[in-house]
């Protein structure tokens, strides 16, 4: 998938997630809310994360075992985002900063895989996991989409997450 398609996909997910706020009030008390609409957005956000991770490591056959050892992806373990509608700060890829590779497990990714393989686990498709997955996808897509150093561009800022900006399409 080319960069501009990833950016468009991210913005579509961001827009749909923002609209979800009219159904599920963005509030800490609702972070464990789950359902089919949340699952659909989580599923696509995780697919975008996967595409972006494969692009980042330059290996279309790679998987989470590769990504959690890749220095470029692991850098994002330090990044703290703010989910703007709630003012909530979080590190969506924080677990990748663990020294022990066996502890580098992204809870939202594990929950996504549980639901993907067994829809009776739908209760794991939560608003919290969606926010973490979309934020993580946004981090990787923003790096992929960033123009080379020295090339000027007009950034379009994310409406859901501080820190994230993408070249205008």
- Partners of residue 156 on adjacent β-strands: 166
d(CA 29, CA 15): 22
pLDDT value of position 148? 74
DSSP string, the chain: --HHHHHHHHHHHHHHHHHHTTTS--SGGGTT-B-HHHHHHHHHHHHHHHHHHHHHTT-TT--HHHHTT-HHHHGGGG--EEETTTTEEE-TTGGGG-SSGGG---HHHHHHHHHHH-GGGGGGSBHHHHHHHHHHHHHHHHHHHSPPTT----EEE-SSBTT-EEE--
For 130-160, the pLDDT digits (tens) are 999 999 999 999 989 887 777 777 788 999 9
For 80-92, the pLDDT digits (tens) are 999 999 999 999 9
pTM, two decimal places:
0.94
Q: How many CB atoms lie within 10 A of CB 28?
A: 10
Q: What is the pLDDT along the chain (169 residues), one digit of tens a residue?
A: 788 999 999 999 999 999 999 999 999 999 999 999 999 999 999 999 999 999 999 999 999 999 999 999 999 999 999 999 999 999 999 999 999 999 999 999 999 999 999 999 999 999 999 999 999 999 999 989 887 777 777 788 999 999 898 887 6
d(CA 116, CA 50): 14
Buried b vs exposed e over 91-130: b needs ≥16 C-beta within 10 Å? bbbbbbeeeeeeebebebbebbebbbeeeebeebbbbbbb
- Partners of residue 157 on adjacent β-strands: 165
């Amino acid at each position: 998938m080319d960069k501009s398609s990833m950016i468009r996909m991210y913005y579509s997910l961001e827009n749909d997630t923002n609209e979800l706020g009219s159904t599920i009030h963005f509030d800490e008390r609702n972070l464990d809310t789950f359902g089919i609409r949340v699952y659909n957005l989580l599923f696509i956000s995780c697919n975008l994360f996967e595409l972006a991770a494969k692009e980042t490591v330059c290996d279309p056959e790679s998987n989470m075992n590769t990504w959690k050892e890749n220095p470029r992806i692991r850098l994002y373990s330090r990044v703290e985002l703010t989910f703007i509608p709630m003012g909530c700060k979080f590190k969506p890829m924080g677990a990748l900063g663990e020294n022990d590779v066996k502890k580098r497990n992204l809870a939202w990714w594990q929950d996504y895989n549980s639901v993907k393989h067994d829809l009776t686990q739908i209760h794991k498709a939560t608003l919290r996991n969606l926010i973490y997955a979309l934020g993580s996808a946004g981090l990787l897509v923003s790096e992929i989409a960033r123009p080379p150093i020295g090339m000027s561009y007009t950034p379009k800022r994310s409406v859901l997450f501080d820190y994230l900006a993408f070249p205008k399409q």
